[in-house]
Structure 1
Amino acid sequence: MDTSRRTVLAAAAAGVAATTVISGTAHAASGKQPVKELFGKLADGTKIYRWSLQNGGTRLKVLSYGGIVQSLELPDRHGRYANVSLGYDNIEAYVAGTTFFGATIGRYGNRIAKGQFTLDGTKYQLSVNDGVNSLHGGAKGFNTRVWDVEGFTSGSDVGLHLYYTSVDGEMGYPGTLRVKVTFTLTARGDWRIDYEATTDKATVVNLTNHTYYNLAGEGSGSIEGHELTLAASRYTPTDSGLIPTGELAKVAGTPFDFRRGKEIGDDIRAAHPQLITAKGFDHNWVLDKGSTSSPVHFATLRDPGSGRTLKIATDQPGVQFYSGNFLDGTLTGPSGRTYRQGDGLCLETQHFPDSPNQPSFPSTVLRPGQTYRTTTVHSFSAS
C-alpha cells in the first residue's frame, strides 16, 4: 500500500464514472467486487447482511442494519492490519446497544432540546431518548433501521449504495424523507461518504456517521495518546444536558484548542466546567472553513505507536468530537476485550446540535424540491 500522505481534496473532487450494480448474494473475493454474506437475523427473522469492500489497502465492512460500519481495517507502518473501529461481532449486541457504534445517524444527528422544534408555525414533538432531549433521531433512529443495500463498481472505485425511506411522522419528524447514503473506497484507499435526501414536506435533516476510532486497533486501550488537530477556532459550549447555549466560544486558552495539534490526553482532565459536565470532550467544534461547496480538510488524527493517520475533509460547518466518555467496561468488542472510558473517539461531521431551535446557527431545514447533499472523505496513511 502507498503509505504517503494522500490528497483529500483530489479524492473528494474525483468524478464518478458509470456504475455497475451488484445485487447478488455473493461474489468472488478477488479483485474489488463487493462481497455480501449473512451476518445474522433479527428477532422477527429479518436477515441482516454484511457487505465487505476492499480497495487501495483499506478494508471496510458494512451492515444492512443501521448502515453500520462493523469493521475498518488499516495497515500500520509495517503493513500489519488491525480493525480500527469499535463494534461487535454479532447482530444481537447491535440491537441491544445504545452506543451507536459505526452507525449511520438520522434523521437528525446529535441533540435537539426537549425533543421539540417549531417549523413554519407548527410545533413538533420528537421521540425523547436522552433524558428530556432527543438524540440521534430518537429511540428508533436510522441506526436501528434495515437499509436496502446495493454494491457497485465505478471505474477504479468500489462501494455501496444504501437506501432508506423514513415515513412522515416517524419519531415525530414531519415529511417522508427518502435517503441515499453512498460508501465508496477509492483506488487510493480513501473512504468517502455521500449523503442525499429529499422530502415531501418541510423538515429538518442532519445526517452523519458514528464510527468510533482507535487507530492502534479496537480493544487496544485508551485513545488519549492519539494526536488530534482540528482547524476550528470556536466551539459551542453546552448546558448540563449537553445542549448548546447558543454561544460560539473561542478555543484560545482553553482545553478545546486543537489548532496546532496535541495529544487528546493533554487536557482531558483539566478542571474546565465544560469538561466536567460532559466527562470529557463531547462538543461541537465550529470549523474555520464554514460550510463549503466541496470537502475541505479540517482534521488529522494520528496514533504514534502504529503510525496510522486519519485525515478528514467535509463540506459541513461543524464536527462533534466525542472522546468515548460513557464507555464503562461493560461492552466487549470483536477482539474479546472490553471497552472502557476513552477507548475510542468519534469525529462526526455535521451541522450544529439543536440547530432547529437556534436561529443563529446554520439552518438544517429541507423543503420539497430541494435535495440535501453532503460529503465527507476519510484518507488514511501510515508512517
Structure 2
Amino acid sequence: MMNIEKQSFGTTPEGKEVLKYTLSNNQGMEVDIISYGAIITAIRVPDSRNEPGDVVLGFDTLEEYLGDHPYFGAMVGRVCNRVGKSRFELEGRIFHITANEGANQLHGGKNGFDKQVWTTYSHKTPDQISLMLGYESADGEEGYPGSLLVEVEYSLNDKNELGISCRAKTDKPTHVNLTNHSYFNLNSCEGNILGHEMMIAAGSITELDGESIPTGKILLVDSTAYDFRLSTEIGERIDQVEPGYDINYVLDMKQRELT
C-alpha cells in the first residue's frame, strides 16, 4: 500500500534537526525528501525489468547538502534564476537584495529557501500520499519586502505521478517565483543525458545578456537549436549552442502538455 516513512537525516550547525521522508506507492516508486531546502534527494522508479533506479542527482548525507552544490533537488526562492544588479523597483521603491553571483542575485541570495529548514506534515488519502513543507520568510530577508508564508506539497499516486504544488501568501507587495531545481537522468544517473528525448511546448525564448540576465527581448526558436516543440534528442543539436542549453523558454500556455 501507499506509505510515508520518516527518519532523522542529521542536524544543521545551528542545531536544527533535519528530517527525511520517503513516499512510496504500490508500483514500487519511491521519493525521498528532506526538510532542509525541501530537497528531493532521490526518485526511484522501476524500469521495464521492474528494477528500481534513481533518476535524479543528489547526495547521501546532510553534510554534502550543507556544502556548495548546484541546488540539487532544492526549492529555490524567493525568486529563482537571476535578478540583475541585485535590485528591482516595486510600487515606486527601489529594493536592493543580496548579491551572490557577482553583482547579481541567483536563486534567492546567500541564504535562500534552499538553505532553510522547513516545517513538515504528511497527509494520506485513498488516491495519493502527500508531504507538505512550509517556510516563513521574514520581512526584509535577503532584502525582499514583506513576510512570505510558503507551502510546497509533494504528492505521489499509483500512476507513478509525482506532483509539486506551490503556494505563497504575503502581507506586502513583493516578488516571488519558486521552482524545484532537480536534475534528471533517466539512465539511473549513469552516463550523460545526450540521448534523452525532450519536448518543450515553447515557440520562443528570452534573449540574455553576457551575465545571463534577460534583456526583455523575446526571440523565436524557429530554425534554431532551441526548438524542442517536437520530441528531439538533447544531444542532436547541443553543439550548436555555447556552452550548452541554459535559457528561459516562453511556454505556449494554450497547449495542455508543456513538456
Q: Could you say whether these structures have the same fold, taking a TM-score greater than 0.5 normalized by the shorter chain as the test? A: yes
TM class, shorter-length: over 0.9
1:48 aligns with 2:12: no
Q: Cα deviations across residues 325-372 of structure 1 (Å, max 9, x unaligned)? A: xxxxxxxxxxxxxxxxxxxxxxxxxxxxxxxxxxxxxxxxxxxxxxxx
Q: TM-score, normalised by structure 1?
A: 0.66
Find the counterpart in structure 2 of residue 303 from structure 1.
none
What percent of counterpart residues are identical?
38
Larger RCO (alpha carbons 8 Å, 6+ apart): 1
Q: Summarize the alignment of residues 1-383 of structure 1 with structure 2, pairs less than 5 Å apart.
A: 31-57=1-27, 58-218=29-189, 220-270=190-240, 275-276=241-242, 279-289=243-253, 296-299=256-259
Q: Which runs of 5+ in 2 are unaligned?
A: none
For 1:74 and 1:56, the matched residues in 2 are separated by 12
Task: Tell me the amino acid that sits aligned with residue 297 of structure 1.
Answer: E
Runs of 4+ in 1 over 6 A off after TM superposition: none
Moved more, 169-178 or 127-136: 127-136
For 1:282 and 1:105, the matched residues in 2 are separated by 17
Task: Tell me the amino acid that sits aligned with residue 265 of structure 1.
Answer: G
Where 1:258 maps in the other structure, the secondary structure is: coil
| CA deviation after TM superposition for structure 1 residue 95, in Å | 0.9
| CA deviation after TM superposition for structure 1 residue 151, in Å | 1.2
8 Å CA contact 2:129, 2:157 repeated in 1: yes
8 Å CA contact 1:56, 1:189 repeated in 2: no
Aligned length: 258
8 Å CA contact 1:84, 1:214 repeated in 2: yes
8 Å CA contact 1:33, 1:152 repeated in 2: no
Task: Tell me the amino acid that sits aligned with residue 142 of structure 2.
Answer: M
For 2:186 and 2:3, the matched residues in 1 are separated by 26
Find the counterpart in structure 2 of residue 21 from structure 1.
none
For 1:229 and 1:44, the matched residues in 2 are separated by 43
Find the counterpart in structure 2 of residue 23 from structure 1.
none
Q: CA 1:84–1:39 in 2, change beyond 3 Å: closer, same or farther?
A: same
Task: Tell me the amino acid that sits aligned with residue 14 of structure 2.
Answer: D
Q: TM-score, normalised by structure 2?
A: 0.96
